[in-house]
């Protein structure tokens, strides 16, 4: 299993608009082979910003990489960038992880 | 849902011992009310270290906080610190997240 995270720093007065942009965004993930699950996460205040993280679980790294090469990926990321005011500070930071241990309830 | 992460920086020559310490560690999570799932994650090289993250999903923040006050938490964290050589650099960085959006395959 492979987990792709993107970390976003959001100014407190932009937090509501940032969350709304995710809730109303069209997602293409459900149609992608190897997609398992997506969570959008809200962290705590860190000084001047709130930390958010998107968190997508894939069957394996190959499934994630196929998504990044897909037309749907290009379309959704162009849309996220274009037209709307910028809702986060700087750039999202990408982190990819392989799962090496799993314990379920 | 609440996700508790701890981020660890591990020197490449300690990576195997670090992973083994997790694989062989006794976990008490399964017995905790509100525990959903645990993943131990291996990220990529960042300069001089490899980023690892532990990632525990709880029913809600209250369930996580009850765990941090439990005897099992104290016992497992004393054991992790005591006796064995230190397998990571600096301190783990804790980050807690509330889930505000979920998409399943």
> Nearest CB to A96: which of B36, B44, B101?
B44
Give, in order, the Cα–Cα distances in Å from A90 to each of A10, A49, A73, B58, B68: 9, 11, 21, 30, 34
What is the average pLDDT across A47-70? 94
Mean pLDDT by 10 residues, chain B (105 residues): 95 94 88 94 90 95 95 78 74 92 89
The CATH class given to the B2-98 domain equals alpha beta
User: Residues of A with CB below 8 A from B29's CB?
Assistant: 103, 105
CB contact under 8 A, B96 and A30: no
Q: Is B74 exposed, middle or buried (0-12, 13-18, 19+ CB in 10 A)?
A: exposed
Q: What pTM was estimated for this model as a whole?
A: 0.85
Q: Does A82 touch chain B (CB under 8 A)?
A: no
| pLDDT tens-digit readout, A22-40 | 988 888 899 899 999 999 9
Distance from CA of A62 to the nearest CA of B (A): 15
Q: Does A33 touch chain B (CB under 8 A)?
A: no
For chain B, domain boundaries: 2-98
Residue-by-residue DSSP string for A31-91: GSTTEEEEEEEEEEEETTEEEEEEEEEESSHHHHHHHHTSHHHHHHHHHHHSSSPP-SEEE
Nearest to residue B51, comparing CAs of B18, B20, B85, B3? B18
């Amino acid at each position: 299993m492979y987990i792709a995270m993107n970390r976003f720093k959001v100014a407190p007065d932009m937090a509501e608009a940032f969350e709304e942009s995710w809730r109303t965004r069209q997602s293409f993930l459900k149609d992608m082979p190897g997609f398992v699950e997506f969570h959008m996460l809200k962290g705590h205040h860190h000084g001047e910003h709130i930390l958010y993280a998107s968190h997508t679980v894939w069957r394996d790294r190959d499934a994630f990489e196929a998504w990044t090469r897909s037309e749907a990926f290009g379309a959704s990321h162009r849309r996220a960038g274009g037209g709307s005011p910028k809702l986060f500070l700087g750039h999202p930071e990408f982190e990819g992880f392989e799962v090496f241990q799993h314990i379920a309830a």
